[in-house]
């Protein structure tokens, strides 16, 4: 296994010398965003300039499913790109899944066809290092490593908060080595120990679980909270009252909030009521604008 002594505790200072002069992107509090993980993004016909809906600052997309060409198109449109991958679980359908050893795999994850992995394992860390390198090679500006909170689940290894803290410091070091920034996914219990080595929070359901105040630590540190809620009625029939309650929930001041379905497909609703469907490989062409950018509408108040 790797110990924390194999990399600097805080890697901020070394980003420039590690990756030429490319300093990692510093995302701004209040940046607008969309997250689409269910299937790869799709653009309009090649003959036209690419366009995409919604016109937000940041796209969080799957690092395996999307091509370097897709990421380059998002950059041409002035978007920043966060590359998503699961850092703490095994997904058998991923192209590198055979690299995990038996000893790396723990208990099944509740409600998902995944298994927790031993984040202390040198082999698991080598796999994650390659995933981070892939994100960099494809042109991502940042990474969104999911499932880093194994300590709060029956993981099969007795993983602790200290193990997650060490793992996040490792992931941060690797991201910086490739000139990228990194987000903390959920994991509110360990914010004080890792906030200095991450650049933003990607949060799920803090309103539902009444945890908004916990994540205010990021706003205080001038780092954005990219916040997702999965309300009843999504997609398309979220009551205006529900949306307003989420948007104005205690502790969410300054958060970048989106309403999504649990499968994180192309549909999104923003706090102002606007709804969009980002075009993806699985989109029904008839449900999108002709330019392939997706479609938008407002909710019925």
Residue 163 maps to a domain? yes
Residue 80 backbone dihedrals phi, psi, to 5 degrees: -95, 150
Residue 255 maps to a domain? yes
Q: What is the CATH number of the domain that holds 252?
A: 3.20.20.70
3-state secondary structure 118-160: CCCCHHHHHHHHHHHHHHHHHCCCEEEEECCCHHHCCCCCCCC
Residue 291 maps to a domain? no
pLDDT (tens digit per residue) in 7-57 = 544 444 444 444 445 789 999 999 999 999 999 999 876 667 778 999 999
Confirm if 139 and 59 have CB atoms less than 8 A apart.
no
Q: Residue ranges of the alpha helices (H) in the chain?
A: 15-18, 68-76, 122-138, 161-177, 191-194, 212-220, 240-247
Residue 293 maps to a domain? no
Q: How many domains, the chain?
A: 1
Residue 221 maps to a domain? yes
Residue 285 maps to a domain? no
Residue 219 maps to a domain? yes
Residue 287 maps to a domain? no
Distance CA 50, CA 213 (A): 39
3-state secondary structure of 216: helix
pLDDT in tens, the chain (301 residues): 444 445 544 444 444 444 445 789 999 999 999 999 999 999 876 667 778 999 999 999 999 999 999 999 999 999 999 999 999 999 999 999 999 999 999 999 998 899 999 999 999 999 999 999 999 999 999 999 999 999 999 999 999 999 999 999 999 999 999 999 999 999 999 999 999 999 999 999 999 999 999 999 999 999 999 999 999 999 989 999 999 999 999 999 999 999 999 999 999 999 999 999 999 998 754 344 434 456 666 554 4
87's CB contacts (< 8 A; 6+ apart) are 119, 128, 131, 145, 146, 147, 148, 167, 171
Q: Which residue range(s) make up the domain with 150?
A: 4-39+55-276
């Amino acid at each position: 296994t790797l110990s924390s002594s194999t990399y600097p505790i805080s890697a901020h200072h070394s980003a420039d010398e590690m990756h030429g002069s490319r300093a990692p992107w510093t995302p701004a509090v209040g940046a607008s965003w969309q997250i689409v993980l269910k299937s790869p993004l799709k653009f309009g016909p090649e003959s036209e300039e690419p366009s995409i809906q919604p016109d937000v600052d940041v796209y969080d997309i799957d690092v395996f499913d999307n091509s370097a060409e897709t990421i380059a198109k998002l950059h041409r449109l002035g978007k920043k790109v966060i590359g998503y991958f699961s850092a703490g679980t095994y997904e058998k359908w991923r192209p590198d899944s055979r690299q995990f050893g038996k000893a790396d795999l723990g208990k099944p994850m509740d409600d998902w066809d995944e298994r927790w992995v031993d984040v202390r394992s040198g082999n698991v860390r080598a796999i994650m290092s390659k995933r981070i390198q892939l994100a960099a090679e494809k042109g991502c500006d940042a990474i969104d490593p999911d499932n880093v909170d194994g300590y709060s689940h029956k993981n099969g290894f007795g993983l602790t908060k200290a193990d997650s803290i060490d793992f996040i410091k490792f992931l941060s070091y690797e991201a910086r080595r490739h000139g990228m920034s990194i987000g903390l996914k959920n994991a509110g219990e360990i914010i004080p120990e890792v906030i200095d080595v991450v650049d933003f929070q990607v949060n799920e359901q803090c309103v539902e679980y009444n945890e908004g105040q916990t994540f205010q630590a990021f706003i205080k540190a001038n780092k954005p909270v990219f916040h997702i809620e999965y309300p009843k009625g999504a997609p398309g029939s979220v009551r205006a009252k529900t949306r307003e309650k989420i948007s104005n929930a205690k502790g969410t001041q300054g958060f970048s909030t989106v309403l999504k379905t649990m499968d994180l497909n192309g549909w999104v609703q923003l706090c102002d009521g606007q709804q969009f469907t980002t075009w993806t490989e699985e989109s029904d062409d008839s449900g999108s604008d002709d330019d392939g950018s997706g479609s938008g509408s407002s909710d019925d108040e």
